[in-house]
Amino acid sequence: MDKARETITTDLPAARRRLAAFLPAEGYKPDLLARIGRMSMSLKEPAQAGRYWLLSDATGPDVEAAVEAFVQSCRSVPARVVAELPRFKRDWEVEAFAAPARKRVARYGLLPHLEARRPAGAKKTGRWRALLERIFRRRPAGP
């Protein structure tokens, strides 16, 4: 049994790397971020766990402590914190994040730095804007 446990523990860093490799190709996946954070805590790397938990939907005192450890590792500089966050598709759309993640973004002043990730050609799509675009979408002329 100890040999099996040792094998699982040995492979945990590789599993974390494989999961993290999916992030850039995917959109916002708070459950995937939370899972990678839990794996990092299992590896006794709280700052690394906080890196993933900051944008996840995970909550709790251990999560907040790990997020704080991550922010402190970046010297509490918002631009550094955002530079170290995992990248994924449309990672600048904070309004699409889970509520705990939005609170953390606001607490650490990360919003302007995350919005700076928006490509020059990408338009803003907030909740209201998306609703208005659906309502006033051009319909084809018909009989």
Residue 141: predicted pLDDT: 54
Confidence of residue 76 (pLDDT cuts 50, 70, 90): very high
Residue 130: predicted pLDDT: 60
Q: What share of the chain is helix, strand, coil (3-state, %, to 5)?
A: 65, 0, 35
Tell me the CA distances in angstroms from 124 to 80, 120, 129, 133, one per residue in order. Answer: 24, 10, 8, 11
pTM for the full predicted model: 0.78
Residue 11: predicted pLDDT: 86
Tens digit of each residue's pLDDT (9 = 90 or more) over 1-22? 455 555 555 688 999 999 999 8
